[in-house]
Amino acid sequence: MSYFKESSTKVANFNLSKPNSFYQKIILIFLVGFFINSYSAFSQNEMSYFEGSFDQLQEEAKKKNKPYFVFVHANKNKFDSVTFANQYVQTYIKKRYLAQKLQAPSLYADYVVKKYEVKSFPQILIFTPQGKLVDRINSYLSPKKMIARLKLHEGKTGSSDDRISDFAKAANPELSLKLQTEGEIQEVYHFSIRPYGVEEKTIGVQLGVFENYQNLVNNVAELEVHWHDNILVTFVEIDGKMLYRLLLGPFYSYEHADRYNKNLKEKMGLRGILVSLENFNPITEDNKNEYLIESIETPVESENPNKR
């Protein structure tokens, strides 16, 4: 007999006509309250999502000055069953964030998918209270890592049109006219650049650091000719001078990155070094163990994000 059934039987067997019925009433009230609280705790063990459109979510975030994220999914996933089912994750998000869940395909989801170029599911888009996209999570994170990732963006600010405003301020009409009248066109490139949210323990194959931007562009173009679409670039300023770091990635295990690097050397004669995409420290024999497949807490579905 279950605990609830046994307790209910005892309550039903109380004889309230006896002299000690007052105490029995007290016990009865206590048990009813216990059952109600237990049921409430059980039934509320679900993630709380914002109900409304994406535009309404943005308005609510501005009004409450809270960062927010949009969880876009298509099928059953570990975010639902593990991460967002965790009590501590739910409590943290309720206090610090607004959250919306969108099922793809659907009207609201399709709008977000197209606007923010969501190319895989599930995916989590993280925004400032003013609507600036600051991060995207496209592989599974455990509850602990999820909270750590969200904490990185708690205090961030900025609107979605910040970069357009910066661009307008930085534009130079006089220089534009000079280019038109005096400049000589060297080449026309198709450019597509967007920020990349780095996952924990991801690896990049660093091919070089360039002082000259044109050299960087030429090397990127050469890599694309050879069907490399996993090109990453970071900007590093040293003593007032901008340098450009060129990498291929991301890779989710040492084994995959090492194999990819060896293929680059054999097929293209390129000599890369493996670096952590979190801090760009080299990965050597001394620290490679933490990047091995067996050391990764939750391997992603595909060990080869570049489909090589």
| Average of per-residue pLDDT values in the chain | 81
- Dihedral angle computed from the Cα positions of residues 54, 55, 59 and 65, in that order, rounded to the nearest 10 degrees: 40
d(CA 198, CA 229): 17
Q: How confident is the model at residue 22 (pLDDT cuts 50, 70, 90)?
A: low
| Amino acid letter, 131 | G
The residues pairing with 243 across neighbouring beta strands, listed in sequence order, are: 236
Q: Which residue spans of the chain are classified as CATH 3.40.30.10?
A: 54-162
Superfamily per CATH, domain 203-290: Sporulation related repeat (3.30.70.1070)
Q: Of the candidates 150, 28, 20, which has an alpha carbon nearest to the alpha carbon of residue 91? A: 150
Comparing 48-52, 72-76, 172-176, 212-216, which segment has the lowest mean pLDDT?
172-176
3-state secondary structure of 126: strand
Q: Which residue spans of the chain are classified as CATH 3.30.70.1070?
A: 203-290
Q: What is the pLDDT of residues 279-306, one digit of tens each?
A: 899 999 999 999 998 776 544 444 444 4
Q: How confident is the model at residue 273 (pLDDT cuts 50, 70, 90)?
A: very high
d(CA 31, CA 3): 12
Q: Which CATH number fits domain 54-162: 3.40.50.2000, 3.40.30.10, 3.40.630.30, 3.40.50.620?
A: 3.40.30.10
Q: Of the candidates 40, 39, 38, 15, which has an alpha carbon nearest to the alpha carbon of residue 27? A: 15
Q: What is the pLDDT of residues 97-148, one digit of tens each?
A: 999 999 998 877 898 998 898 988 999 999 999 999 999 998 899 999 999 9
Residues in the chain: 308
pLDDT of residue 297: 53
